């Protein structure tokens, strides 16, 4: 039996952040970024540049929109999330609708319509 390890681009460790391809939900990825900021071994100045290297596929084109100097400052993670959010979240009405359906999905029981 042969064990396959994920490609190097997909590996996630305490120093390597998770990647983002643009096809998953942005809010899920944003949550992973915030959680990882608490767990990483990297200094605050290195966390932003590490995140910049991880977008892949359709999301890779947005790397050029990130300013390296701002990524290396304190608050680089917030800058990363704030800058890329506008490219992956399309309008306030879409965000409202998604959150609204999440509320009903979690708070309504299956017998609510009977």
What would the pLDDT profile of 31-45 be if each residue is shown by its tens digit? 888 888 888 888 888
Tens digit of pLDDT for each residue in 51-67? 888 888 888 888 888 88
Between the alpha carbon of residue 23 and those of residues 4, 36, 106, 114, the distances in Å are 24, 20, 23, 37
pTM of the full structure = 0.65
Helix (H, G, I), strand (E, B) or coil at 57: helix
| Phi and psi torsions of 95, nearest 5° | -65, -45
């Amino acid at each position: 039996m042969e064990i396959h390890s994920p490609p190097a681009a997909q590996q996630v460790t305490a120093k390597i952040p998770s990647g983002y391809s643009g096809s998953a939900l942005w809010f899920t990825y944003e949550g992973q970024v915030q959680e990882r900021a608490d767990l990483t071994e990297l200094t605050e100045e290195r966390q932003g540049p590490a995140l910049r290297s991880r977008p892949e596929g359709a999301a890779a084109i947005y790397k050029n929109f990130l300013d390296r100097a701002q990524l290396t400052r304190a608050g680089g993670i917030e800058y990363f999330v704030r800058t890329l959010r506008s490219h992956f979240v399309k309008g306030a009405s879409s965000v409202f609708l998604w959150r609204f359906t999440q509320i009903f999905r979690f708070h309504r029981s299956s017998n609510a319509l009977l």
